Structure 1
Amino acid sequence: MSVVETVLVALALGCDAFAVGMGVGTRFCNPRQIFRLSFHFGLFQMMMPIAGWFVGSRAADLVSTWGPWISFALLLFIGGKMAYESFRSLEAEDGECPDPTKGSSLVMLSVATSMDALGVGFSFGILGQQLFLSAVWIGITAGIMTWGAMRLGNRLSRQFGRRMETVGGLILVAIAVKLLLF
């Protein structure tokens, strides 16, 4: 795969991470949170193609069938929870919304945004292409895109107020629905 093709694949795979990062950044954007989400998204985006490459075509049918449903469920759950919590926090400012850059939410978001990368790894394995360097670039690109998206989401949140949290949650729900429809 050429450098240009690698960059294009990395950018395409980073789009989900960008969208999720922007949604999360509307509420959670301190340096630690930015690092955690960017690092984990980049790590998962790097590791999933490698895992897919190793498994290869043996499980390709399973992942192509269930992968979108798994991502849909994870993103729908987290996005719905974010939107719900944003409405709750508007009513009661004392309540604190759980941080999606920690614990199981972080893992679920990382898996959900990297399922496409798993599929890319499968296709590379089937085609017998080398993957490691491409996977590293995919991970770096996703991490950088997540970092930028969180900063952008935070800036939009400051400009448009607390309602951007609702928009952030709805972005995740929209991505979940898109996974099933397209």
Structure 2
Amino acid sequence: MDINTFAWGQLITLSIIAIALGMDAFSLGLGLGMRKPSRNRTVLISSFIAIFHVFMPLVGIWIGQFLSIYFHHIAVIVGGALLCLLGLQMFWSSIQDKENALPFSDRTVFGLILIAFSVSLDSLSAGLSLGFFATDPIITVILCGLAGGLMSWIGLSFGRLMGNWIGKYGEVLGGIVLISLGIQFIW
């Protein structure tokens, strides 16, 4: 099977976006990991986040594809601008000095759903942007789900060992990556 340069470029770009979006899950995992959850709890939390990191970009892609039919001439610029805005939002929220205390418990199903939903909202926005670019939705949601689930698991695991400072810098890096990709799409 021969994969052309465009397909490789799309795969690499989607992987970078998925990892950048997973930075929120990583940061959240670090915070929750400091509560020393059991291995089963770690797998459960990571699974919820992975599922939402599949579902949310898929919904965004569908919306973006629908809108790109009507706004095809500006789709790439809008998609790039959305990625820039998403990156700026991630960057800005990470440099604020407020503590991001969760107003709900990760010990209930409802709390897990709210946590997974809140940490995957940026995936909805990114999916919307990617819908404008006609990316492969299956590859996109698989990469986003893997990155979100894996990065939350890594964050939960390292949360026991490391301090809060990594979470802040991880989200800053994710924001910078999304801003850079958005600027490339606009130019």
Q: One fold, TM greater than 0.5?
A: yes
Of 135, 146, 151, 2:141 maps to 135
Q: Cα–Cα, structure 1 residues 8 and 101, in superposed 2: closer, same or farther, change >3 Å?
A: farther
Partner of 2:118: 112
What amino acid sits opposite 1:6 in the alignment? L
Matching of residue 4 in structure 1 with residue 42 in structure 2 = no
The residue number in structure 1 matching 2:55 is 47
Aligned residue pair count: 144
Counterpart-to-counterpart distance in 2, 1:120 and 1:106? 22
Is the CA contact 1:25–1:150 (under 8 Å) kept in the aligned structure 2?
Answer: yes
What is the 5 A alignment of 1:92-103?
99-103=105-109
Q: Percent identity?
A: 21
Which blocks of at least 5 consecutive residues in structure 1 are unaligned? 73-77, 83-97, 157-163
C-alpha change, 1:147 and 1:52, in structure 2 (3 Å) is same
What's the counterpart of residue 155 of structure 1?
161
| Pair 124,116 (structure 1): closer, same or farther in 2 beyond 3 Å | same
For residues 10-89 of structure 1, what are the structure 2 equivalents within 5 Å? 10-56=18-64, 79-80=100-101
Shift of residue 132 of structure 1?
Answer: 1.3
Inter-partner Cα distance in structure 2 for 1:44 and 1:12: 15
Aligned partners of 2:149, 2:56: CA distance in 1, in Å? Answer: 14
> Residue by residue, what CA displacement relative to the aligned partner does 1:4-39 show, whole Å, maximum 9, x if unpaired?
112111110100000000100100420121011111
Take 1:106 and 1:152, find their aligned partners in 2: how far apart are those partners?
A: 20
Q: Is the 8 A contact 1:50 1:135 kept in 2?
A: yes
Q: Secondary structure at the match of 1:155?
A: coil
Q: CA deviation at 1:129?
A: 2.4
Query: What is the TM-score of this pair, normalised by structure 2?
Result: 0.62
Instruction: Look up the equivalent residue of 2:136 and give its one-letter code.
Output: Q
Residue 104 (structure 1) shift: 2.0
CA RMSD of aligned residues (A): 3.7
Q: Which of structure 1's runs of 4+ aligned residues deviate more than 4 A?
A: none
Alignment CA distance shift 1:37-1:100 (3 Å): same
| Structure 2 gap ranges (5+) | 1-6, 68-77, 94-98, 180-187
